[in-house]
């Protein structure tokens, strides 16, 4: 699968968030602020996982339809990936 630039950009933003959390910890910032930033990072990761799975599913479904093959297994696998990621 080829990943588009938006996925890479999202991951770079998440990387920046995590670096920011590390800086907050090194500066002994308040626990609530650190946890808030970690939660935001986790949410961003979850959204990125969803985007990657959906882009891959779309590509695979399109290929299967072109081949005249069923897409049922692909959808089940995508749902399993999303469930596993939680």
Residue 20 clears pLDDT 90, i.e. is over it: yes
Residue 27 clears pLDDT 80, i.e. is over it: yes
Tens digit of each residue's pLDDT (9 = 90 or more) over 57-78: 999 998 999 999 999 999 999 9
Contacts of residue 40, Cβ cutoff 8 Å, sequence gap at least 6:
17
Cα(32)–Cα(37) distance, integer angstroms: 9
**What is the per-residue pLDDT for 85?**
86
**What is the per-residue pLDDT for 4?**
87
Residue 1 clears pLDDT 80, i.e. is over it: no
- CB count within 10 Å of CB 43 equals 11
Q: What is the mean pLDDT of residues 73-86?
A: 90
User: What structural domains and CATH numbers belong to the chain?
Assistant: 5-84 (1.20.58.1000)
pTM of this prediction exceeds 0.75: yes
Q: What is the mean pLDDT of the chain?
A: 94
């Amino acid at each position: 699968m080829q990943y588009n630039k938006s996925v890479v950009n999202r991951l770079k933003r998440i990387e920046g968030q995590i670096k920011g959390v590390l800086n907050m910890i090194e500066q002994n910032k308040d626990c609530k602020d650190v946890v808030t930033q970690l939660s935001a990072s986790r949410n961003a990761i979850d959204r990125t996982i969803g985007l990657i799975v959906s882009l891959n599913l779309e590509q695979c479904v399109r290929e299967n339809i072109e081949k005249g093959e069923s897409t049922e297994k692909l959808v089940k696998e995508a749902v399993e990936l999303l469930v596993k990621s939680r």
